[in-house]
Every structure is written in structure tokens, then in C-alpha cells.
Amino acid sequence: MKKFSIGVDYGTLSGRALLLDLETGEEVASASYAYPHAVMDSRLPSGRKLGHDWALQHPQDYIDVLAHTIPELLQKTGVNAADVVGIGTDFTACTILPCKKDGTPLCFLPEYADEPHAYVKLWKHHAAQSHANRLNETAAARGEAFLGNYGGKISSEWAIPKIWQVLEEAPEIYAATDRFIEAADWIIWVLTGKESRNACTAGYKEIWNKNMGFPSEDFFASLDERLRYVVREKLSTDILPQGAKVGTLCETAASFTGLTTDTSVAVGNVDAHVCVPAVGIDGPGKMLAIMGTSTCHMLMGEKESRVPGMCGVTEDGILPGFFGYEAGQSCVGDHFAWFTDNLLPKSYVDEAAAEGISVHALLRRKIEAQKPGESGLVALDWWNGNRSVLVDVDLTGLLLGMTLATKPEEIYRALIEATAYGTRMIIENFRENGVPVDAFYASGGISQKDPMTMQIYADVLGMPVHIAGSAEGPALGSAIFGAVAAGSENGGYADIFEGAKKAGRVKDTFYEPIPANAAVYDELFAEYKILHDYFGRGANDVMKRLKQIKIGGKKHG
């Protein structure tokens, strides 16, 4: 009898569920559901206005995703609920909410429905920047060792700054909160009726380390005395590795999904991280780049290395038994979109419209035949700062080599090439710090839709680029984890390695470096690196000084 699992991917605006045939590894069906409240960045449902840089979500939307998509999958495939042996999920992160001790979100309680801090703080809620800054200053002053696990800096997007913001701005909400919990873990609570915590978000977003644990109570007290016991009071030190089974579906969840209470549920996970087994990666040395508006790089190693400038390292944080490394580039698709939004000439827009193609497709057509180096341009991809390896949000963009003959499509391509150089910097940085990178995989929208960019990446990296076989990498990865939670005794997979082998996949065709191009890109990357180090490592801090002048001008002008 065929067995199945379901993966549910919680994105920024919608959830997407996928039904996986565990024997063939085939994606049988998928279904999606857009969050009715989407991202609340200006008002609460009550109409109450939100501050600058806020971004909230409503947890009811997450439940509604399950209640809509899973019954739809069963209905349209005719698969028997009893044959769905496991369910896995993944979430954006750090997306976090305050709950009561039974898992009820504070915003579900009428007395808090009009209170912004009672809602889910989405990953891109950026209103805790001052808390992150103070946290980093304090940690650096105290010489806290944990900073080394995060390339030296904690982001304002992560859990502790967000929790601290609640405490400072709404101490009554902080007091009423029994548990601060990642949405990734909260949805598992909804499914199983049990609280659990996963190593991935704990490690990457909550300053937890398998050996070192959380920061000390003294450290939290040095931020604010009221935070001293935040871990024991509102978080948890009971952290499960990725791939673990939390339990089976509770009756409530079985009832609204149409599944049975025998269905195993995997521990919470993160959208980027579940993509790793979805492309068949089952061990160290194989980097996965998830390429969208920004790029997230996942890599496993056999030992814990302090790699300067990475986003984080977490034992078991990607696959159990390995040290999972994360790095990132904060401006990739955003980089290209900035160009087309701001600097695309009218004639090109008109040309694309007349042909009914996207401006990106038009630009690619105009430039894809150009040889590397022929434009004479090189750029630093720092329009949104540098996440890895310099971890410096105050760096800004650079474009060099323009002449009066420089065409728009040449600049567009130079921006693409710059992101490829940025990826190569990250890879070389890992290698130089003892973490091998032997193979390169790409998933995400750009990898599926932009062959020119992927060929450039192959040529710049000097490595073949393998492309995710599924356009729904996160949902597929979650389904694999769901099958692992079920285990082979229930018709699932014995472990994530079997899962990666049976259901993970890349496309048959991949991008092979073209030796002549790679040779030129070696020269161009050498130039990129000189500029990267000159502007990024202190020889000329002009970008920071310009930022200071800019801020000063706005303040005093």
C-alpha cells in the first residue's frame, strides 16, 4: 500500500501544502492558501495604527492554511487519510509570538486583541533595531563568546531583540506572556497539542548552542534586570534536533485537517533549511543557495568552526549529526529589481511591453551573448549592506568602469555578476576557515527562471551549479521531514538521509562552467576581492563616512 506525507511551507504571504508519494518520491499534488491578514504593517484588524518598521501577522491565518489546504489535497487526489503517515512544516524565521501556557496566542484573547505586541512579529519586523544595537554593544563589551557563532552580530530580526522590545514597550504583555515561541514551533503545538522547540530556530535565531546553551542569566540581566530569567520563564531549554518526531496529530488538528491521529508530526523547521534534503543533499560540503530577493546559503560541516562573517552555526540545525552553517547575501533579486524599478529606460520598457516579455527577459536577451569582461564593469553588491562575510549593514553599493558607451544591460549584468562574486567570497571564506565546499546547488525563483544568471554563477564559482528539481522546495523538504518523523516502521523514511535520497532531487540538466568564461571571471573576481577588502575591511571607510554625512545632513540640515 502506497504511503504519503504532507509538507506545509509557511511563507510571508501564504501557506503551501504538498502531498508526497513516499515510494516514488513524486509530488502528487499541492494546494495553497493566502493569509487573510497578509502582513500587517500599518494597522491592526481593529484599525489601530502601527509604528514605523513594524510587521505583524495573525496566527489564525496559520491554522486556516492547514484547514484549507490539507482537506483539498486529500479531496483532489482521493488519497486515504490513513495513508498519510507524516506531516512536516517549515516557517519564515525569526517569526515569533507570545502565548499563554496552553499555547493560546495572546492576540486570541479579547483583552489583548487591540494590543500590537500581542501579535506575531514577522521576520521582517524591523522595529527592534535599537534593541539589537544595544544587545550587540553590551555583548561585545562583555566579551560574550556567543557572538562568534553569529559572525559577531545579532540581527534585529531575531528573537531576543524582539522579546526585549515587548518588555520595554508593553511590559504588561511581557508579563502576561507565558511562552515566547517561534511560529515554526507554535504550529507544531497546534498540530500535536504539545509544546516543542527545534534546534534550527533556537540555534540560528535565539542565541542557543547545543554545548553552550543560551546566554547566561547575567547577560540577560545586563540588558534589563527583568530579562534575567527569560529563558527559564518564557523560552525552553528542551530543544529537539531537526528530523525529530514531536508526536502525532491531536484530535482537534485531525478533525480540521481530515487526517488521522496516527499521523506523525515532525519538529518545527525553517523554510530555507528544509530545502537542503529537498535537493538531495545528505552530508557536508554541498552548499545550497536559496536565491530570491536575498540569498540564503546552507552548508554542513563535520566540525564546529568559527567562520568569521557567517550568519550562524548550529549543531543538528540543518540535518542531525552535522554542524549546519548559514550565510547570506542581503541583496540579490532586490538588486536586479532596484535597477529595473529605477533605471530602466523608457525604450526598453516599451520594447518589452510590445513583445509581451518581462523587462528581465528583455535585458537578458540584450546581454546574454556578451562575453565576461566585455563591459569593463565591476560592482560591489552592497546596496543592502553586506550580510556575509563582512556583516556590515553600513556598507553601500559600488559600480566601477563606466564609459559613455556603457549600456543599461551591461550595468544589469554587472549587478548579477557582483552577486555571484559575493557568493564566491562566502565560499572561499568557508574554505579558508576549514569548512569544505565541494558542490553547489541552487533553489528559489531565480534558479528556476534565469538561466543566464545561473550560467554566470557556474562560471564565476568554477563549479557546476545543480538546480532544485522541485519548484516547491520548502514544501517538499517539509514533507520529507514529515516522513522521517513517521519512521520506516510506519511506512515513512528511516532517517533524513534516506528521505533526501528517495525524494530529494535536482534537475537533470545543470550548469557547467565554461572554461574560457571561468578564466576571465577569475581575473574579475580578483578585482572584486581587492575592492571588497579595500572598502569593506577598513582601508577606506568612505561608505560609512558618507552614511554619517547623510544622517548628519538629515538631522541638522
Cβ proximity to its own copies: between 211 and 403 the closer is 403
Q: Which stretch binds its own copies (CB under 8 A): 190-198, 238-246, 406-414, 472-480?
A: 406-414
Q: Which stretch binds its own copies (CB under 8 A): 79-87, 106-114, 241-249, 331-339?
A: 331-339
Cβ proximity to its own copies: between 106 and 377 the closer is 377
Cβ proximity to its own copies: between 417 and 472 the closer is 417
**Least separation in angstroms between CB 393 and its own copies:** 10
Residues 161-200 that bind its own copies (CB under 8 A): none
Cβ proximity to its own copies: between 110 and 557 the closer is 557
- Sheet of 465-467: strand order equals 312-315, 323-329, 295-301, 286-291, 439-443, 465-467
**Is 312 strand, coil or helix?**
strand
Cβ proximity to its own copies: between 232 and 545 the closer is 545
Residue 384 makes contact with its own copies by CB under 8 A: yes
Q: Which stretch binds its own copies (CB under 8 A): 85-93, 202-210, 233-241, 407-415?
A: 407-415
Return the amino acid letter for 532: H
Residues 46, 211, 342, 509: which binds its own copies (CB under 8 A)?
342
Nearest to 12 by CA among 155, 97, 123: 123
CA–CA separation, 299 vs 273, rounded Å?
10
Q: How far is CA 311 from the centre of its chain?
A: 11
Cβ proximity to its own copies: between 208 and 525 the closer is 525
Q: Which stretch binds its own copies (CB under 8 A): 9-17, 221-229, 245-253, 403-411?
A: 403-411
Query: Is residue 509 exposed (0-12), middle (13-18) or buried (19+ Cβ within 10 Å)?
Result: exposed
Query: How many residues of this chain interact with its own copies, rule: CB under 8 A?
Result: 56
For 310, list phi and psi in degrees, rounded to 5. Answer: -80, 170
Residues 372, 422, 492, 536: which binds its own copies (CB under 8 A)?
372
CA–CA separation, 480 vs 477, rounded Å?
5
Using an 8 Å Cβ cutoff, are 383 and 532 in contact? no
**Least separation in angstroms between CB 91 and its own copies:** 25
CA–CA separation, 209 vs 211, rounded Å?
5
Residue 129 makes contact with its own copies by CB under 8 A: no
Residue 357 makes contact with its own copies by CB under 8 A: no
**Least separation in angstroms between CB 496 and its own copies:** 36
CA–CA separation, 57 vs 489, rounded Å?
38
Residues 497-556 that bind its own copies (CB under 8 A): 516, 520, 523-524, 527, 530-531, 534-535, 540, 542-543, 545-547, 549-550, 552-554
Query: Is residue 399 exposed (0-12), middle (13-18) or buried (19+ Cβ within 10 Å)?
Result: middle
Q: How far is CA 244 from the centre of its chain?
A: 21
Residue 446 makes contact with its own copies by CB under 8 A: no
- Length of the chain in residues, anyone? 557
**Is 405 strand, coil or helix?**
coil
| Strands (DSSP E) found in 142-192 | 179-182
Q: Which stretch binds its own copies (CB under 8 A): 130-138, 144-152, 243-251, 391-399?
A: 391-399
Residues 264-323 that bind its own copies (CB under 8 A): none
Residue 355 makes contact with its own copies by CB under 8 A: no
CA-atom Rg of the chain in angstroms: 23
Q: Torsion-angle region of residue 243: left (phi > 0), alpha (psi -120 to 50) or beta?
A: left
Q: How far is CA 145 from the centre of its chain?
A: 24
How far lies 25's CA from each of 77, 105, 444, 476, 509, in Å?
A: 16, 36, 20, 9, 19
**Is 383 strand, coil or helix?**
strand
**Least separation in angstroms between CB 180 and its own copies:** 31
CA–CA separation, 466 vs 447, rounded Å?
9
Residues 377, 458, 479, 480: which binds its own copies (CB under 8 A)?
377
**Least separation in angstroms between CB 536 and its own copies:** 12
Q: Which stretch binds its own copies (CB under 8 A): 83-91, 135-143, 191-199, 394-402?
A: 394-402
Cβ proximity to its own copies: between 254 and 337 the closer is 337
Residues 106, 279, 398, 463: which binds its own copies (CB under 8 A)?
398
Using an 8 Å Cβ cutoff, are 469 and 450 in contact? no
Residue 492 makes contact with its own copies by CB under 8 A: no
**Least separation in angstroms between CB 532 and its own copies:** 12
Residue 376 makes contact with its own copies by CB under 8 A: yes
In sequence order, which residues have a C-beta less than 8 Å from that of residue 57 and are 6 or more positions away?
35, 37, 39, 40, 95, 119, 120, 122, 183
CA–CA separation, 20 vs 28, rounded Å?
6
Q: Which stretch binds its own copies (CB under 8 A): 195-203, 222-230, 343-351, 442-450?
A: 343-351
**Least separation in angstroms between CB 415 and its own copies:** 10
Contacts with its own copies, residue ranges (CB under 8 A): 331, 334-335, 338, 341-346, 349-350, 371-378, 383-384, 396-404, 406-408, 411, 516, 520, 523-524, 527, 530-531, 534-535, 540, 542-543, 545-547, 549-550, 552-554, 557
